[in-house]
C-alpha cells in the first residue's frame, strides 16, 4: 500500500550512523533523556549508595542499644534520634536498607534466574518440558505466597534472606510466563525460520534472535518485582518474621509501631525509605517500558496477518510490544506497564509502521490510534462513522485505556481491533467529543477550508516542530476556475471529455505532506456518477493517501491542503468528507484492503452490518436485519443467516470482503472508494469480488474510485485511469486509450513490467522427463 515510504529510516532512526551503535548504548542514552527515569535512577542509586556507605555515614552500631537514648529526639550524635530500645535510627535506617535492598535483589535475581531460562526453553522447544513447566508454574502461582512464607519461616527459622529466596521462587512463574509468551511470539517470526534454515544451532538462535526480544519485558518486570519485593520484605519484617539479628526497614516499622503513641516520627524514616524505593522502581519500570518497548525492541508485525498496513495496521506495533510486556504475566503490576506501553509505544516501532512513518516522527501514538480507530469505524460504518471528529476526540480519551485493556489478552490482531471497540461504543457520546473538537478548530471555518483541522492536531502533538503550512501560498496560486492541470503532467488534460456539472467528486490540487515530505503533490481528479476511476501506482506513489485524504482518514500529522474538494456539488473542507456533512458512510462508502482487520472481531457480522443502517437510514432493528440479510444474499453469500450470526474469524477472507462490500453499499452511497479491495484475496476470489463490485456499481449507478497497483484489475473494471507516481498524477485517460497508447514513460514502464504476456521460460535443456505425479 502506498503510504509515505520515502524515508522510513529518518523518522525512526535518525541518522543512519546510529545503526552501527550497539543497541544497549542507544537504550541507555534514550533512558537518560527521560527525566522520570533519571530521577528514579538517581533516587535508587542514592539510596543504594547511602546504604553501602553506611559505616562512613554513621559511627553507631545498628544493634547497640543504649537505654539512655530510648526515644531520644534528634541530636548531634543521633541525627534522627533513637528508637524504642535506644538504638540509633539513622544507623538502623542505613544498615537496614542493606538488608532490605539485598534481600529484594536476591528475590528478584532468583525469580529472573529461574524464570528466564525455563521460559526460554519452554517457549522455544515446547514439547514435554513446556507442559511440565507450565504445570509447575500454575501450581506455584496458586499457592498463597504469604502463607507459604510463614510456613517456611516457621519451620526453618527466621532468616530474611531465606524468606526472600522463597519469595523469589514464588515470583519465578510470573517471569516464566512472560518469557515464554515473548518467545512463543518471536519463534513464529520468519527470521527465526530463516536462521534455522541457515544452520544456526538452537542455542545460537536463542542468543541472537530470541533473547533480545525477551530482554525488554524481563528488565521491565524485574524493576517492578523489585518494588513489590521491598514491600513484601518489609511486611514480613514488620510482622516480626525476619531475622531479628539484622536491622531492616520492616523491623524499624515494627519498632516504630510499638511506640506510635509516644513517638510517631519513628514511622517516618523507614516509611519514607520504603515509599521512595518502591515508587522509584515502579516509575523506572514505566520509563523503561517507554524506552524498550516503544523503541527498536518492538517486534515487527507479521504482515500476513495485519498485512500491508492500512491505517488499521499502524497502531498495532506499539500495542504488540505492550502485549509482549503483558503477555501472560500474572503479576498485578504488569498490567499497568502494558497500559503505559500502549499509550506511548507506537512511536518508533519498526514492523507495521509503514503507514505511520510520517506519524512516527511526530511521536503521535495517540494519533496513530485515532486514525486507526476512525478508519475501522468508517469501514464498518459504526456509530462513530458519522462523527469522524468526535471519534478522534473520544479515541484520544479512551484510547490508552482500551489498548491497555486488550493488550494483555488479545492475540496479534486483537490489540488493534479490540482497541477500536471503545470508539464504536462511545459513538453515541461522540457528539460531545465532536463539540469539543470543532470548538477547538472553530477558527477553521468552512470558508477557510484549505486550513484543515489537521494542523490544529499536529500542533498539539508534542513531536517535531511542524514547518509552517503554506496554504495561502498554495491555494491562490491556482485560479480556482481553471481546469486543474498539474504543472508537470504531459498527459492530455486529465478530465478530457468529462461533461461539466456531472461530476460526483471533484478534487483539485490536493497536497498531503508529513513534515517536509510531500506524499501527494498537487493531485486533481474527478469522478462522475456511474464511472469507475482507477488510481494506479506503485507503493509510495501516494494513491492510497489520496483516497484517504478524500475520506478524511489521514492521521492528524498529515498536512493537507486542497484547492477545491466538492462532492455532489457540496464543497467539503480539506479534512475530507467530514462527518458533520453526513456524507461519509452515507454517501461516500469505503472498501478497505484488508477485510479481516477491518471487521471488529468482538462483534457479530450482523451487528456491524446493521449499525450503520440504523444510524444513517433510521431503520428499526427488524427492518435493518431484513435489509442486512438481503444484502448478504446480494453479495453472493450462500447462507446469509449463518454469516449474519457469525463472528468475523469464522468466515474466510473472500467472504469477509463480501461482507465489507455489503456494509459499504448498505446505505446506498453515491461513491465507493475502494483501496486495493482484492489485493489480499486469491485470484479466483478476486475475480468473483470484482464481478460483484462491477455489478453493484452498474446496478446502483455508483461512482467508484479504485486504488490498485494491478493493471489487470484496472483493465477488468475501470472506465478511466489515473496513473500516479511520487505523489502526482502523471497520466490520466480512458482505460481503453491508456492501455492502447500509454503516453507517459512511467506508464509505459509499468505496463512493460507486467508479466502477463511475457514469454514462458521453456524447459531446462532436455524436454521434461515425465514426473511422478500422484493422484
Partner 1 sequence: MSTVAPAERAPARETGPLLSVDQLVVTYPGKGRGRPPVQVLKRVSIDVHPGETLGLVGESGSGKTTLGRAILGLAPVTGGSIGFGGRDISAIGRKERRALSDDIQVVFQDPYTSLNPALTVGDILTEPLLVTGTSGADANRRVRDLLDQVRLPADAGGRLPREFSGGQRQRIAIARALTRSPKIIVCDEPVSALDLSNQARILDLFIEIQERTRVAYLFITHDLSVVRHISHRVAVMYRGEIVETGDAATVTSTPEHPYTRRLLLAAPVPDPARQAERRAARQEFASRQQAAMLSGALTDDTNS
Strand partners, 508: 564
- Confirm or reject binding of residue 715 to partner 1 (CB under 8 A): yes
Task: Give CA angle at 200 (197, 206), nearest 5°.
Answer: 115
Among 713, 722, 724, 733, binds partner 1 (CB under 8 A): 713
- Confirm or reject binding of residue 203 to partner 1 (CB under 8 A): no
Among 687, 700, 726, 743, binds partner 1 (CB under 8 A): 687
- Confirm or reject binding of residue 145 to partner 1 (CB under 8 A): no
Q: How far is the CB of 740 from partner 1 (least distance, A)?
A: 9
- Confirm or reject binding of residue 646 to partner 1 (CB under 8 A): no
Query: Looking only at residues 84 through 143 of this chain, which bind partner 1 when binding is defined by CB under 8 A?
Result: none
Rounded CA-CA distance 39/515 in Å is 33
Q: How many CB atoms lie within 10 A of CB 751?
A: 15
Retrieve residue 548's grid coordinates.
Answer: 484517504
Rounded CA-CA distance 670/667 in Å is 9
Retrieve residue 456's grid coordinates.
Answer: 490544529
Q: How far is the CB of 690 from partner 1 (least distance, A)?
A: 8
**Is the Cα torsion angle 299, 681, 531, 695 positive or negative in sign?**
negative
Q: How far is the CB of 508 from partner 1 (least distance, A)?
A: 28
- Confirm or reject binding of residue 198 to partner 1 (CB under 8 A): yes
Chain position carrying cell 531475622: 243
Sequence-ordered list of residues with C-beta below 8 angstroms from that of 579, at least 6 positions apart, any chain: 385, 386, 387, 388, 389, 390, 391, 434, 552
Among 79, 84, 86, 300, binds partner 1 (CB under 8 A): 300
Q: How far is the CB of 307 from partner 1 (least distance, A)?
A: 9
- Confirm or reject binding of residue 650 to partner 1 (CB under 8 A): no
Among 380, 686, 697, 747, binds partner 1 (CB under 8 A): 686
Total length of the chain: 775
Rounded CA-CA distance 667/306 in Å is 27
Sequence-ordered list of residues with C-beta below 8 angstroms from that of 268, at least 6 positions apart, any chain: none
Q: How far is the CB of 704 from partner 1 (least distance, A)?
A: 16
Size of the site for partner 1 (CB under 8 A): 90
Among 56, 68, 147, 768, binds partner 1 (CB under 8 A): 768
- Confirm or reject binding of residue 479 to partner 1 (CB under 8 A): no
- Confirm or reject binding of residue 751 to partner 1 (CB under 8 A): yes
Rounded CA-CA distance 616/587 in Å is 10
Name which of 352 and 608 has its Cβ closer to partner 1: 352
Q: Where does this chain touch partner 1 (CB under 8 A) — which range of 161-169, 230-238, 293-301, 413-421?
A: 293-301
Q: How far is the CB of 291 from partner 1 (least distance, A)?
A: 15
**Kind plus residue range of the DSSP H or E element containing 675:** strand 671-675
Name which of 462 and 771 has its Cβ closer to partner 1: 771
Among 196, 625, 700, 743, binds partner 1 (CB under 8 A): 196
Q: How far is the CB of 737 from partner 1 (least distance, A)?
A: 10
Rounded CA-CA distance 311/457 in Å is 17
Q: Where does this chain touch partner 1 (CB under 8 A) — which range of 191-199, 285-293, 379-387, 624-632?
A: 191-199
Q: How far is the CB of 610 from partner 1 (least distance, A)?
A: 22
Q: How far is the CB of 6 from partner 1 (least distance, A)?
A: 10
Name which of 5 and 71 has its Cβ closer to partner 1: 5
Rounded CA-CA distance 344/191 in Å is 26
Q: Where does this chain touch partner 1 (CB under 8 A) — which range of 76-84, 250-258, 610-618, 714-722?
A: 714-722
Q: How far is the CB of 706 from partner 1 (least distance, A)?
A: 12
Among 32, 736, 745, 748, binds partner 1 (CB under 8 A): 736
Chain position carrying cell 464511472: 531
Cβ proximity of 120 and 210 under 8 Å: yes
Among 637, 656, 706, 722, binds partner 1 (CB under 8 A): 637
Cβ proximity of 259 and 71 under 8 Å: yes
The three-class DSSP label of residue 140 is helix
Among 25, 446, 668, 682, binds partner 1 (CB under 8 A): 682
Q: How many CB atoms lie within 10 A of CB 433?
A: 24
Name which of 155 and 758 has its Cβ closer to partner 1: 758
Cα-Cα end-to-end distance for the chain: 39
Q: How far is the CB of 532 from partner 1 (least distance, A)?
A: 12
Sequence-ordered list of residues with C-beta below 8 angstroms from that of 676, at least 6 positions apart, any chain: 1, 308, 544, 593, 707, 708, 709
- Confirm or reject binding of residue 211 to partner 1 (CB under 8 A): no
Query: Looking only at residues 329 through 358 of this chain, which bind partner 1 when binding is defined by CB under 8 A?
Result: 350-351
Sequence-ordered list of residues with C-beta below 8 angstroms from that of 350, at least 6 positions apart, any chain: 12, 296, 298, 300, 317
Site string for partner 1, 597-636 (x = CB under 8 A): ---------------------------------------x
Among 86, 212, 330, 492, binds partner 1 (CB under 8 A): 212
Query: Looking only at residues 507 through 536 of this chain, which bind partner 1 when binding is defined by CB under 8 A?
Result: none
Chain position carrying cell 543521633: 78
Sequence-ordered list of residues with C-beta below 8 angstroms from that of 636, at least 6 positions apart, any chain: 658, 688, 692
Of 455, 514, 454, 449, give the one whose Cα is nearest residue 480.
449
Name which of 212 and 330 has its Cβ closer to partner 1: 212
Q: Where does this chain touch partner 1 (CB under 8 A) — which range of 488-496, 509-517, 585-593, 708-716?
A: 708-716
Name which of 202 and 488 has its Cβ closer to partner 1: 202
Among 63, 303, 604, 614, binds partner 1 (CB under 8 A): 303
Phi, psi of 529 (to 5 degrees): -55, 135
Among 178, 655, 659, 663, binds partner 1 (CB under 8 A): 655
Q: How far is the CB of 373 from partner 1 (least distance, A)?
A: 24
Of 369, 440, 572, give the one whose Cα is nearest residue 432.
440
| 532-537/720-725 β-pairing | parallel
Q: Where does this chain touch partner 1 (CB under 8 A) — which range of 184-192, 376-384, 522-530, 602-610?
A: 184-192
Q: How far is the CB of 715 from partner 1 (least distance, A)?
A: 4
Rounded CA-CA distance 341/732 in Å is 45
Torsion on CA atoms 266, 268, 271, 272, rounded to nearest 10 = -140
Query: Looking only at residues 13 through 32 of this chain, which bind partner 1 when binding is defined by CB under 8 A?
Result: 13, 16, 19-20, 23
Task: Establish how many alpha carbons lie within 13 A of residue 502's alpha carbon, considering only the half-sphere containing its beta carbon.
Answer: 12
- Confirm or reject binding of residue 716 to partner 1 (CB under 8 A): yes
Q: How far is the CB of 93 from partner 1 (least distance, A)?
A: 43
Phi, psi of 470 (to 5 degrees): -125, 55
Q: How far is the CB of 304 from partner 1 (least distance, A)?
A: 6
The DSSP secondary structure of 724-757, one letter per residue, reads EETTEEEEEEEHHHHHHS--SHHHHHHHHH--TT
Name which of 252 and 663 has its Cβ closer to partner 1: 663
Q: Where does this chain touch partner 1 (CB under 8 A) — which range of 11-19, 225-233, 433-441, 543-551?
A: 11-19
Among 32, 49, 156, 194, binds partner 1 (CB under 8 A): 194
- Confirm or reject binding of residue 750 to partner 1 (CB under 8 A): yes
Q: Where does this chain touch partner 1 (CB under 8 A) — which range of 302-310, 327-335, 560-568, 574-582?
A: 302-310
Query: Looking only at residues 688 through 707 of this chain, which bind partner 1 when binding is defined by CB under 8 A?
Result: 688, 690-691
Rounded CA-CA distance 515/553 in Å is 18
* CA 648 vs CA 585, 597, 606, 654, 658: distances in Å: 20, 9, 10, 11, 12
Name which of 68 and 683 has its Cβ closer to partner 1: 683
Amino acid at each position: 500500500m502506498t503510504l509515505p515510504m520515502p524515508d522510513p529510516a529518518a523518522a525512526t532512526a535518525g541518522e543512519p550512523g546510529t545503526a552501527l551503535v550497539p543497541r544497549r548504548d542507544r537504550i541507555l542514552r534514550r533512558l537518560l533523556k527521560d527525566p522520570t527515569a533519571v530521577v528514579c535512577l538517581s533516587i535508587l542509586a542514592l539510596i543504594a549508595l547511602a546504604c553501602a556507605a553506611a559505616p562512613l555515614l554513621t559511627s553507631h552500631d545498628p544493634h547497640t542499644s543504649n537505654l539512655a537514648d530510648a526515644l531520644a529526639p534528634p541530636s548531634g550524635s543521633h541525627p534522627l534520634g533513637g528508637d524504642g530500645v535506644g538504638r540509633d535510627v539513622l544507623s538502623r535506617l542505613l544498615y537496614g536498607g542493606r538488608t532490605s535492598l539485598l534481600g529484594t535483589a536476591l528475590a528478584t535475581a532468583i525469580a529472573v534466574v529461574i524464570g528466564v531460562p525455563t521460559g526460554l526453553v519452554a517457549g522455544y522447544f515446547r514439547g514435554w518440558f513446556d507442559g511440565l513447566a507450565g504445570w509447575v508454574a500454575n501450581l506455584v502461582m496458586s499457592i498463597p505466597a504469604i502463607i507459604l512464607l510463614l510456613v517456611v519461616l516457621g519451620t526453618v527459622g527466621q532468616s530474611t534472606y531465606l524468606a526472600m529466596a522463597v519469595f523469589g521462587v514464588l515470583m519465578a512463574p510470573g517471569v516464566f510466563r512472560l518469557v515464554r509468551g515473548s518467545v512463543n511470539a518471536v519463534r513464529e517470526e520468519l527470521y527465526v525460520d530463516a536462521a534455522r534454515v541457515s544452520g544456526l544451532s538452537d542455542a545460537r538462535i536463542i542468543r541472537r534472535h530470541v533473547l533480545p526480544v525477551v530482554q525488554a519485558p524481563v528488565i521491565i518486570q524485574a524493576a517492578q518485582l523489585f518494588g513489590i519485593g521491598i514491600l513484601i520484605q518489609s511486611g514480613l519484617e514488620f510482622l516480626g518474621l525476619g531475622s531479628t539479628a539484622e536491622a531492616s526497614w520492616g523491623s524499624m516499622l515494627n519498632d516504630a509501631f510499638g511506640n506510635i503513641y509516644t513517638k510517631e516520627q519513628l514511622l517516618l524514616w523507614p516509611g519514607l525509605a520504603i515509599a521512595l524505593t518502591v515508587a522509584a522502581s515502579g516509575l523506572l519500570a514505566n520509563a523503561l517500558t517507554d524506552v524498550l518497548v516503544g523503541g527498536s525492541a518492538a517486534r515487527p508485525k507479521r504482515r500476513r496477518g495485519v498485512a500491508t498496513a492500512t491505517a488499521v495496521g499502524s497502531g498495532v506495533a506499539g500495542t504488540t510490544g505492550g502485549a509482549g510486556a503483558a503477555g501472560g504475566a500474572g503479576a498485578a503490576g504488569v498490567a499497568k506497564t502494558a497500559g503505559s506501553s500502549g499509550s506511548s509505544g507506537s512511536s518508533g516501532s519498526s514492523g507495521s509502521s509503514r503507514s505511520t512513518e510520517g506519524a512516527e516522527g511526530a511521536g503521535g501514538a495517540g494519533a496513530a490510534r485515532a486514525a486507526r480507530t476512525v478508519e475501522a469505524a468508517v469501514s464498518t460504518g459504526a456509530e462513530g462513522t458519522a462523527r469522524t471528529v468526535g471519534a478522534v476526540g473520544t479515541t484520544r480519551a479512551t484510547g490508552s485505556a482500551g489498548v491497555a485493556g486488550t493488550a494483555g489478552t488479545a492475540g496479534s490482531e486483537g490489540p488493534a481491533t479490540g482497541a477500536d471497540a471503545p470508539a464504536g461504543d462511545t459513538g453515541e457520546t461522540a457528539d460531545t467529543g465532536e463539540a469539543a473538537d470543532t470548538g477547538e478548530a472553530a477558527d477553521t471555518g468552512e470558508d477557510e477550508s484549505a486550513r484543515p483541522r489537521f494542523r490544529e492536531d499536529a500542533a498539539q502533538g508534542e513531536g517535531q516542530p511542524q514547518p509552517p503550512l503554506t496554504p495561502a501560498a498554495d491555494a491562490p496560486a491556482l485560479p480556482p476556475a481553471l481546469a486543474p492541470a498539474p504543472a508537470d503532467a504531459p498527459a492530455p488534460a486529465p478530465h478530457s471529455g468529462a461533461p461539466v456539472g456531472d461530476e460526483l467528486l471533484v478534487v483539485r490540487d490536493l497536497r498531503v505532506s508529513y513534515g517536509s515530505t510531500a506524499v501527494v503533490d498537487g493531485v486533481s481528479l474527478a469522478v462522475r456518477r456511474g464511472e469507475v476511476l482507477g488510481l494506479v501506482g506503485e507503493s509510495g506513489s501516494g494513491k492510497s493517501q489520496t483516497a484517504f485524504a478524500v475520506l478524511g482518514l489521514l492521521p492528524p500529522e498529515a498536512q493537507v491542503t486542497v484547492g477545491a474538494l466538492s462532492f455532489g456539488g457540496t464543497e467539503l473542507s480539506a479534512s475530507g468528507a467530514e462527518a458533520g456533512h453526513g456524507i461519509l458512510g452515507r454517501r461516500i462508502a469505503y472498501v478497505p484492503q484488508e477485510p479481516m482487520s477491518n471487521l471488529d472481531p468482538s462483534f457479530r457480522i450482523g451487528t456491524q452490518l446493521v449499525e450503520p443502517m440504523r444510524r444513517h437510514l433510521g431503520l428499526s432493528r427488524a427492518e435493518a436485519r431484513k435489509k442486512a440479510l438481503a444484502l448478504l444474499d446480494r453479495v453472493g453469500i450462500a447462507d446469509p443467516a449463518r454469516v449474519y450470526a457469525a463472528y468475523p474469524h469464522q468466515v474466510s477472507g473472500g467472504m469477509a470482503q463480501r461482507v465489507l462490500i455489503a456494509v459499504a453499499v448498505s446505505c446506498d452511497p453515491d461513491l465507493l472508494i475502494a483501496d486495493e479491495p482484492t489485493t489480499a484475496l486469491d485470484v479466483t476470489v478476486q475475480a468473483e469480488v470484482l464481478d460483484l463490485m462491477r455489478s453493484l456499481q452498474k446496478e446502483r449507478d455508483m461512482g467508484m474510485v479504485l486504488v490498485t497497483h494491478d493493471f489487470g484489475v484496472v483493465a477488468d473494471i475501470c472506465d478511466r485511469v489515473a496513473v500516479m507516481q511520487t505523489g502526482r498524477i502523471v497520466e490520466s485517460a480512458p482505460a481503453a486509450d491508456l492501455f492502447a497508447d500509454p503516453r507517459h514513460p512511467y506508464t509505459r514502464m509499468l505496463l512493460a513490467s507486467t508479466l502477463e504476456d511475457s514469454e514462458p521460460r521453456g524447459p531446462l535443456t532436455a524436454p521434461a522427463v515425465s514426473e511422478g505425479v500422484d493422484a
